[in-house]
Amino acid sequence: MASTQNTPAWLLLKDGTIFKGISFGAKGTTGGEICFNTGMTGYQEVFTDPSYTGQVLIMNNAYVGNYGVKNEDVESDSVKISGLICKNISDRFSRMNANDNLENYLVNNNIVAIHDVDTRALVQHIRSKGAMNCIISTEFSDEAALKEALAKVPDMDGLELSSEISTKEPYTAGSPDAAIRIAVMDFGVKKHIIQCMVDRGAYIKVFPAKTGIDELKKFEAHGYFISNGPGDPASMDYAVKTVKDILATNKPFFGICLGHQLLARANDIPTFKMHHGHRGLNHPVKNIITGKSEITTQNHGFGVDPEAVKNSDKVEVTHVNLNDGSIEGIRMKGRAAFSVQYHPESTPGPFDSRYLFDDFIGNIKKEML
Ligand SMILES: NC(=O)CC[C@H](N)C(=O)O
């Protein structure tokens, strides 16, 4: 077992709840908004999803680490969660081609984590009390010091993070000879979203979050994609402006998660902070256009206002969540612009929703005829 086995670690929530556990990963103190993911597998893809920036993650699965980590199983170039909370971690791993165990991976990525926490009790607490900030520390054990560190953690409500984690320079993916060119706004894009478009024969150019429309237009894209990303969409007026400028080009448009929230905001539909969000890989969603259900991958803490969508003359609902009835997809009336709140690239998760990439490419092809 790793050397940190017996180092105590502390978890303090904003409402004063304290858990004592055992340190693993890096030593130190870390904070963020606490959230939980109900997926049984796919932890490495979850940890590297840029939308988790600023969040301390509880894994609901009682064992984490059993299949180690593998260099390719990432959604970005580093671990993005701010901290990790588990019940049990496995120092032994078993999988063909795994490169390392979870603990070394967290140490190498400087991620402070705590295990031996009653995660079932903790998740039930968050489910009833709602999302809140927390701190994990191996340095402080007295409550006053923990509280002082916790007070410095910024609130997720109103937080803009995309411009910090977006690519600094544009980059491309796929073959430059491809017939279809798609411009991707990177607000924290996951690698497999790009891959899903490249796999369908598109040439992609990924642009930094604050790129303006004049620069975007130089690429002469046939369609525009607005990515997922961390933070509060209500803090992103610059991105809403870009989405409006993109919509004015009349090119096919597709947004995922944060991109969905930005399409809503560009159509005067507010977003709101959810009680504790949706994170996992088995969230049932109904496509109300086709009548078919799909099992979806999700990671969001904000949602679009259902009343405003209902009253909108520009936008209509395409998908609803079968657990809580929340809006999972919208499209603009009479035009090829749509978005979903969930993650159709589904890494990790089932591939039920990948048809949305086909729909997007189909919209682009129709436009090109
Ligand atoms: N995955 C995402 O794009 C998340 C969007 C937004 N940050 C939210 O939490 O709702």
pLDDT, tens only, 43-55: 999 999 999 999 9
Tell me if the bond preceding 348 is cis, omega within 30° of 0: yes
Residue 69 is classified by DSSP as B
**Measured CA distances, 323 to 58, 284, 318 (Å):** 21, 7, 16
Q: Coil, strand, or helix at residue 23? A: strand
Torsion, Cα 45 50 53 58, to 10 degrees, reads: -20
What confidence tens digit (pLDDT) does each residue in 262-305 have? 999 999 999 999 999 999 999 999 999 999 999 999 999 999 99
Q: Answer positive or negative: Cα dihedral of 129, 132, 136, 137.
A: negative
Indicate the angle between helix axes 237-247 and 258-266, nearest 10 degrees: 70
Does residue 276's CB lie within 6 angstroms of at least one atom of ligand 1?
no
Say whether 207 counts as a known binding-site residue: no
- Write down the pLDDT at residue 4: 47
What confidence tens digit (pLDDT) does each residue in 170-187 have? 999 999 999 999 999 999
What confidence tens digit (pLDDT) does each residue in 52-107 have? 999 999 999 999 999 999 999 999 999 999 999 999 999 899 999 999 999 999 99
Q: How far is the CA of 176 from the centre of ligand 1 (A)?
A: 31
Say if the ipTM goes beyond 0.95: yes
In one letter, which amino acid is 110? N
Domains assigned to the chain: 3-151 (3.50.30.20), 162-368 (3.40.50.880)
Residues 74, 77, 78, CA angle at the centre, nearest 5°? 85
Say whether 102 counts as a known binding-site residue: no
CA distance 168 to 163: 9
Place of tokens 């920036």: 53
Q: Is the pLDDT of residue 3 over 90?
A: no
Q: Please, are residues 352 and 283 in contact by the beta-carbon 8 Å criterion?
A: no
CA distance 48 to 245: 30
Q: How far is the CA of 90 from the centre of ligand 1 (A)?
A: 29
> Residue 2 corresponds to which tokens in the numbers above?
């790793």
Nearest CA to ligand 1 atom 4: 300
Q: Report which secondary-structure segment, H or E, holds 19.
A: strand 18-25
- Write down the pLDDT at residue 369: 81
Q: Please, are residues 76 and 191 in contact by the beta-carbon 8 Å criterion?
A: yes
Does residue 297's CB lie within 6 angstroms of at least one atom of ligand 1?
no
pLDDT band at 133 (very low <50, low <70, confident <90, very high): very high
Does residue 56's CB lie within 6 angstroms of at least one atom of ligand 1?
no
Residue 100 is classified by DSSP as B
Nearest CA to ligand 1 atom 3: 228
pLDDT band at 6 (very low <50, low <70, confident <90, very high): confident
Active site residues: 257, 343, 345
In one letter, which amino acid is 205? K
What confidence tens digit (pLDDT) does each residue in 230-266 have? 999 999 999 999 999 999 999 999 999 999 999 999 9
Q: How far is the CA of 53 from the centre of ligand 1 (A)?
A: 10
Does residue 231's CB lie within 6 angstroms of at least one atom of ligand 1?
yes
Given the CA of residue 298, which atom of ligand 1 is nearest to it? 1
Does residue 259's CB lie within 6 angstroms of at least one atom of ligand 1?
no
Given the CA of residue 302, which atom of ligand 1 is nearest to it? 10
Does residue 229's CB lie within 6 angstroms of at least one atom of ligand 1?
yes
Say whether 351 counts as a known binding-site residue: no
- Write down the pLDDT at residue 323: 97
Say whether 301 counts as a known binding-site residue: yes
Q: Answer positive or negative: Cα dihedral of 308, 312, 314, 317.
A: positive
> Residue 230 corresponds to which tokens in the numbers above?
């961390």
- Write down the pLDDT at residue 5: 57
Q: For the range 41-46, what are the long-range contacts, defined as Cβ-Cβ under 8 Å and sequence gap of 24 or more?
A: 41/67, 41/281, 41/348, 42/281, 42/347, 42/348, 42/349, 43/102, 44/69, 44/70, 44/73, 44/74, 44/105, 45/73, 45/74, 45/75, 45/347, 45/348, 46/81, 46/299, 46/348
